[in-house]
Structure 1
Amino acid sequence: MPAPPTQTAGTQRVDPRITRSRSAALTAVRELLQEGGLPAITHVNVSSRSGVGRSTLYRHWPDVTDLLRDALAGQMARSHSIPKGDLREDLLAELDLARGQLTDPATERIMRVVIERADSSPAFAALKRDLYREGSRTTAAVIEDAVARGELSTATDVEFAVAQLLGPLFFRRLVAGARLERADVVCVVDAFLSRGAVADGRRLSG
């Protein structure tokens, strides 16, 4: 929830009341979605659960997709690793956090709803694109940094490489409904590295 800054000794800080209200509203979204699915996500229900006024909710989140976006994007933003410059370890760290996202009940539920609605709703389609960019940005950065260091070919197709890494985890969880273990992450990363850099689906090094 955007907040007017509070001026303090030459610095700006967010009013803690705004932070609490935002957190309460988005926590309510996650809880309601888990309990009742998408139909439970209404401004009335979120207001009742969180204690945040409906006028405030409508002002900052005019549409249900806005609530879903911030409920998931905030979680995803907190669940990125900090690359250290070691390609394998950086990929393992980031993909293990992605595994955690996929096995979190509320986050998984939001992802399923967004994917299901994206084909029929422009708002959900835009939300899916936004979440994809946020969810894949650190994996893409790790690949780009490895290319810059010469560990991967300069012809590497970064988007395709991201799909090779994150795709199997999403498929196993969201399509196959399988449990995801740390061993699955290790398998995906090592398989990717054993193939070498990729561009247009072709092996370029090795």
Structure 2
Amino acid sequence: MPAVEEAPRAPGRPRSLRVDEAIISATLDLLAEGTSVEVLSIESIASRAGVGKATIYRRWPGKDALLHDALATLKSPGPELAGESVRDDLIALLGQVGPSTQDPRLPQILPCLLPHMSRSKEHYRAYQDIIEPRRNRVREVLRRGVANGELRADLDVELTMTVLIGPILVQRVLRWHPDLDADKMPAQVVDLLMAGMGPAQS
């Protein structure tokens, strides 16, 4: 592919976003093609992106930092929430869970990445950094529901969040149950759990 190497820059000149994007894309492409995290190298990324290794090292101190930023781009910001109904907001957020709603490379990357995260505390922390903002949006909706009385006052927010997200993530990543439609599950799971999450009846 044509080189996208940037010209030498004067001190203080902003770095090229085009080069950044080429490096990030090259990293994700290599992972999606089956290159393991262990084998992935700055040399291979530089070659795929059409840049020199020095260009990468001016932006990231090493492979782990680059990998962290590359993986972060796989997650979309998420939907805009109306803020009028806990049920509707949860369905909207759960609809964004899993690889089917994200970058098309994610289904190829995730199976290789998960075992590595279980062996590397650093990569596990990086994964948590990536997913925490999206997880926090679900947390905020649940807390809002508790505050305005839509949900029970003694709701365990952390456990409820996990119970909501877990089934959809498992179905979309592993296709655990062939007879379930993952696209319908957000509404089904929320409606199934709303009775238990709602305020206690007097």
After superposition, the Cα gap between the structure-2 partners of 1:160 and 1:63, relative to the gap in structure 1 and judged at 3 Å, is farther
Q: Which residue of 1 aligns with 2:45?
A: 46
* 2:195 corresponding residue in structure 1: 194
Please say which structure displays the higher CA radius of gyration.
2
- What percentage of aligned pairs have identical amino acids? 28
Residues 55-96 of structure 1, C-alpha deviations (whole Å, 9 max, x = no match): 2323433343323321221232x3312221121211111111
Aligned length: 187
TM-score relative to the length of structure 2: 0.77
- Does the CA-based 8 Å contact 2:46-2:52 persist in structure 1? yes
Tell me the CA shift for residue 166 of structure 1: 0.9
Equivalent residues of 1:73, 1:134 under 8 A apart = no
TM-score under structure 1 normalisation?
A: 0.76
Please say if residues 68 and 126 of structure 2, whose CA atoms lie closer than 8 Å, have aligned partners that are also in contact: yes
Give the distance between the partners of 1:127 and 1:110, measured in 2 at CA: 15
The equivalent of 2:200 in structure 1 is 205
> Is the CA contact (8 Å cut-off) linking 2:168 and 2:182 kept in structure 1?
no
C-alpha distance in 2 between matches for 1:154 and 1:187: 23
Query: Equivalent residue for 1:113?
Result: 112
Q: Which has the higher relative contact order, 1 or 2, with Cα contacts under 8 A spaced 6 or more apart?
A: 2
CA distance change for structure 1 residues 98 and 79 in 2, over 3 Å: closer, same or farther?
Answer: farther
Q: Counterpart of 1:38 in 2: which secondary structure? A: coil
Partner residue of 1:154? 153
2:87 equivalent in structure 1: 88
Unaligned 5+ segments in structure 1 are: 7-14, 198-203
Tell me how far apart the structure 1 counterparts of residues 77 and 139 of structure 2 sit (CA, whole Å). Answer: 15
Given that 1:92 and 1:185 are in contact with CA atoms closer than 8 Å, whether structure 2 keeps it comes out as: yes
SS of 2:150 mapped into structure 1: coil
CA RMSD, 1 decimal: 2.7
Q: Is the 8 A contact 2:86 2:145 kept in 1?
A: yes
